[in-house]
Structure 1
Amino acid sequence: MKFISSIVIAAALLPLSLQAKEISGVELVKTLTLNEQPLVLNGAGVRSKFFIDLYVGSLYVPTVIDNTAAVLAADNVAVRLNITSGMITADKMKEAINDGFDDATDGNTEAIQAQIVQFMQLFSAEIVDGDQFTLLASKASGVTAFKNGEAQATIASEPFRQALLKIWLGDEPAQNSLKEAMLGQ
């Protein structure tokens, strides 16, 4: 019994950075490795609309980063979206992503339109509560999209990579509070 009590006390004394993090019912891993690149959880928050939680967005980086410029300059970062609402459909996700690209590029999506069309194929199958999308943004290879842990496609384009990250972290993000949470602010 003393042994179990000691374990519980030791776990409670661990720094918060080492303890698991849960947001809106989603357990977030503190580290993940994608394409042999180890990344740490930088921050996470909830994307909500009309008081409904839609998804948990999290940002994974090589080392802690607190601003968009540093995220864009990093060799590898990942945005993870954990769907928490059945209200998100493939069509609604496509519409939101298109709006996000429009905001991220100040309405100038023409230069990356072919990559946007390719990226939208990730959302061709129905989206259900519990789905997970992970977007590894690498300066070397572009954006590799994963759905529920399985690689779907890689889009090699630096302007596309930057625009994609700006959907959540740019001057006109999907939601300001989500941006701040992902940047750990």
Structure 2
Amino acid sequence: MKKLIAILLMCASMQALALELEGVKFDDKVQIDNAPLTLNGAGVRSIVFFKMYVIGLYLAEKQKTADAILGDAKPKRIALHVLVGEAGAERFLNGFRKGIEKNHSEAQLAALRERMAAFEQMFGHIKTVKRGDVIAFDWLPAAGTRIALNGAELGRIAGDDFYHALLSIWIGSKPVTASLKKELLGG
């Protein structure tokens, strides 16, 4: 009986915690604005030998393709956990900007320009990000993209195309790395 209880407790704790990467724990399920989301996948973003961040993608229902994720209008969350000791926020913004530019035409970028400027302005007062900081990008169908740093909302940006632009950094046709895209797609 004791063995059975121990096994059941172990299974229950494994279900509560889906994944741990680089010391960051990703819960199997989260909730945003009363919408339950499930961890679709997570991975580590490295540049040369430096592990910059771990990122998790939460969806209403697990998906295996970028097209299915982009076509789904339900709430979503990108949870980015900073791993570097300390880095200028501008470094992260440059990475976001380059990732979006690689995945969009000039016309698409022109349509996003004002919202990209608003996005960058949200981070204007933040000089550095450090290990342990969490940047959350939530897609809320009625409200647009909600951006938060360590749980404090920085602002919101309208338009599903803006959230799709953010997603394209990691799961677009030209992702930051193919391996990270594969991990976020649950593979």
Using the size of structure 1 for normalisation, the TM-score is 0.89
Q: How many positions carry a matched residue from both structures?
A: 183
Q: Given the alignment, which residue of 46, 51, 60 partners 2:44?
A: 46
Gap regions ≥5 residues in structure 1: none
Q: Which runs of 4+ in 1 moved over 6 A?
A: none
- In 2, the alpha carbon distance for the partners of 1:100 and 1:131 equals 21
- In 1, the alpha carbon distance for the partners of 2:172 and 2:56 equals 15
**1:117 alignment partner in structure 2:** 117
Q: Given the alignment, which residue of 153, 163, 166 partners 2:165?
A: 163
Residue 179 of structure 1 aligns to a residue whose secondary structure is: helix
Deviation at 1:78, TM superposition (A): 1.0
Residue 127 of structure 1 aligns to a residue whose secondary structure is: strand
- In 1, the alpha carbon distance for the partners of 2:5 and 2:91 equals 45
**Superposed CA offset, 1:68-123 (max 9, x none):** 11111222111110001125321111110110110121354111111011111333
The question of whether the paired residues in 1 share the 8 Å contact of 2:17 and 2:27 is answered with no
**2:78 alignment partner in structure 1:** 79
Among all aligned residue pairs of Structure 1 and Structure 2, give the percentage whose two residues are the same amino acid.
28
Gap regions ≥5 residues in structure 2: none
- In 2, the alpha carbon distance for the partners of 1:95 and 1:117 equals 12
Using the size of structure 2 for normalisation, the TM-score is 0.88
- In 1, the alpha carbon distance for the partners of 2:34 and 2:16 equals 22
The question of whether the paired residues in 1 share the 8 Å contact of 2:16 and 2:27 is answered with no
- In 2, the alpha carbon distance for the partners of 1:14 and 1:94 equals 39
The question of whether the paired residues in 2 share the 8 Å contact of 1:104 and 1:164 is answered with no
